[in-house]
Amino acid sequence: MSASSISLQGLQSVLKADLITSIISAAGFGVLFHHSVLRNVEVDIYIYYFLALFISATSGLGFTYLSIKSFTIVQAVARTTSVVTAFYTGIIFSIGTYRLFFHRLRSFPGPLGAKLTRFYTVRKAFKNVQYYKEVAKMHEKYGDFIRTGPREICIVRKSAIPLIYGPQSECLKSTWYSQVSSDCTQCSIHMTRDFDDHRRRRKAWDRGFAIKALNTYEPRIKSKVELFIKQLSSYASPPKPFDATTWSMFLSFDVMGEVGFGKDFGCLESGTEHAAIKGVHDHMEVLGILSNVPWLLNILGCIPGATAGYTGFFSWCAAEIKSKQKRWDPEQYPQDIVSWLLKAFAEKDVSASPSEASLHEDSRVVIIAGSETTATTFASVIYFLCRYPDVLRKLQTYLDAAMPNGEREWTYEKVKAITYLDDIINETLRLKPALLTGGYRVTPAKGIQVDEMYIPGNTNVFVPTQLIQTDGRYYRDRLEYIPERYGERKEEMQTEDAPYFPFSVGAYSCPGKNLAFMTLRIALSRVAQQFNLAFALGETGNKFDEGALDTFTTTLPPLMVQVTQRK
């Protein structure tokens, strides 16, 4: 008799035990499994191993029950179901009890559901897709340190920003970033959680945003902005309202097509969204909600057809990379961001994306990270200029003084010198940051001390960007739009010391900040030079103000605006 048949017989005799004993044993095994295995590993990383283990264990159990002659098929299936259910019940019970009463974060206040499961956050994020408002409510109820997940703490304190995000921070990217893959050779710079991999790759990105590179982008951004101005002129006469949200998106995507890939998306020319981009937009909400359970998103991404909406976008980026690789000329100075990444890849530089797959992921980040953010910021600038006409008039005075003959005298050098433009952009990003809730980090093993509160190690943490940037403890007239707080009223309003990090800070901060500012300065200066802006008839701006969706980057409602040519 072979060893395997002996063990099969052994298992059969165990399984023949009365049902109650089997169920109790399975539940006990579930509790044991939680404490000995699940608590000691990062489940997000090993999710596929666990899935494979559970599927093979369940089918193995079913097979063994079926092989016991004294059981009918129905009895075997019923027993398998009961034992498996008991096992999972044991795990769930053990997880729940542990998270509520024994977890290192048990003393932090927060909603009961959030302490038990991440699916609580999914439910909150699903409701209106405005998780940032839910966080604000929790902050009101529970204070500055809120347990927003079984092992997540949301911190609404200025002092937490350098500790969590700053250049000296020891916090790393949290499990939120494993939604694509836990393998850094398969994901973009934004999603890699490996500190060294990130640091190496970041150099290639930074070259694409250096001053010399930016200078090559400037005239091309200007030409896209002029196309935007031309389109707006058609809304000025005969007068008809235009949707600032949609047109800002067209502008921003065309700019990123141009300086990101050296390609024209043609959104401004056609007045329609490029088909590849539409697929991305249609799925932002689902992503925003499910990214709260990264392992689930990771699994869904592997189901054939689940990412069908992205296929167009993925294929577009892949085709562009392939065609660039074919035409690659090592002598030519790179003319766009993707070419900088390709250069590192072709030259096998240490800063190169570590695989073809990660290069493709990086190319998609160029569009996603670069376009949505700039677009929502520009739409928000337009909203504030309509709501606060004095700000627009003041800006126009500065522009007219610097360029008395208008458009003909426009240069980026002159525009850059008008600091009020930057004050407007900064104040817009304070009240309406493109990432409302913020980046998620994990504390080092020794934990971090934030003021009076010790946050234990291996805890996911975040500071909600919009909430802290509108906190009355740090900002006077916190909800008022006052660009001067970044200019002549800086000292009086104590802006210097107030928390402000719309581009994040430290190692993982936005490499595209200067490009974004360049685009926004050019677009804002030209629009203000050329047009007066007002809400269109019937538009109050309230839906735009209140209706932003938290889809990691923000998704904005339409904003109907009437432009009139300035004399």
Residues in touch with ligand HEM (CB under 6 A): 189-190, 202, 205, 337, 365-366, 369-370, 373-374, 377, 434-435, 439, 502-504, 508, 510-512, 515-516
Judge whether 129 and 551 are in contact, CB under 8 Å. yes
Least distance between ligand HEM and beta carbon 171 (Å): 11
Would you state the structure tokens that stand for residue 171, as one six-digit string? Answer: 């916090």
Burial class (CB in 10 A: 0-12, 13-18, 19+), 331: exposed
Q: Which is nearer to ligand HEM, 80 or 554 (CB)?
A: 554
Q: Which is nearer to ligand HEM, 261 or 420 (CB)?
A: 261
The whole-angstrom separation of Cα 110 and Cα 459 is: 15
Least distance between ligand HEM and beta carbon 247 (Å): 17
Would you state the structure tokens that stand for residue 88, as one six-digit string? Answer: 């999972």
Residue bearing tokens 């008809």: 240
Least distance between ligand HEM and beta carbon 481 (Å): 17
Least distance between ligand HEM and beta carbon 55 (Å): 33
Least distance between ligand HEM and beta carbon 476 (Å): 23
Least distance between ligand HEM and beta carbon 198 (Å): 6
β 549-551/152-155 pair status: unpaired
Would you state the structure tokens that stand for residue 475, as one six-digit string? Answer: 């900002």
Q: Which is nearer to ligand HEM, 94 or 192 (CB)?
A: 192
Judge whether 39 and 98 are in contact, CB under 8 Å. yes
Within its chain, how far is the Cα of 185 from the centroid?
20
Least distance between ligand HEM and beta carbon 512 (Å): 2
Burial class (CB in 10 A: 0-12, 13-18, 19+), 489: middle
172-173, strands of its sheet edge to edge: 145-149, 152-155, 460-462, 441-442, 172-173
Neighbours of 224 (CB within 10 A): 26
Q: Which is nearer to ligand HEM, 504 or 530 (CB)?
A: 504
C-alpha closest to that of 532 among 558, 564, 507: 564
Q: Which is nearer to ligand HEM, 22 or 245 (CB)?
A: 245
Least distance between ligand HEM and beta carbon 103 (Å): 26
Q: Which is nearer to ligand HEM, 358 or 373 (CB)?
A: 373
Q: Which is nearer to ligand HEM, 30 or 439 (CB)?
A: 439
Residue 101 DSSP symbol: I
Does the annotation list 510 as a binding residue? yes
Q: Which is nearer to ligand HEM, 187 or 533 (CB)?
A: 187
C-alpha closest to that of 175 among 393, 439, 382: 439
Judge whether 337 and 186 are in contact, CB under 8 Å. no
Q: Which is nearer to ligand HEM, 281 or 489 (CB)?
A: 281
Q: Which is nearer to ligand HEM, 91 or 290 (CB)?
A: 290
Judge whether 125 and 131 are in contact, CB under 8 Å. yes
Residue 332 has phi, psi (to 5 degrees) of: -75, 140
For the chain, the C-alpha Rg in angstroms (whole number) is 27
**C-alpha distances in angstroms, 317 versus 265, 327, 381, 534?**
12, 15, 30, 38
Q: What single string gives the DSSP state of each residue in 131-188? A: HHHHHHHHHHHH-SEEEEETTEEEE--TTHHHHHTSTT---EE-GGGGGS-S-GGGS-
Q: What single string gives the DSSP state of each residue in 206-262? A: HHHTSHHHHHHHHHHHHHHHHHHHHHHHHHHTTT--EEHHHHHHHHHHHHHIIIIIS
Q: Which is nearer to ligand HEM, 94 or 371 (CB)?
A: 371
Would you state the structure tokens that stand for residue 180, as one six-digit string? Answer: 């694509």
Burial class (CB in 10 A: 0-12, 13-18, 19+), 400: middle
Least distance between ligand HEM and beta carbon 402 (Å): 24
Question: Which residues make up each annotated binding site?
Answer: 510
Question: Which residues make up each annotated binding site for heme?
Answer: 510
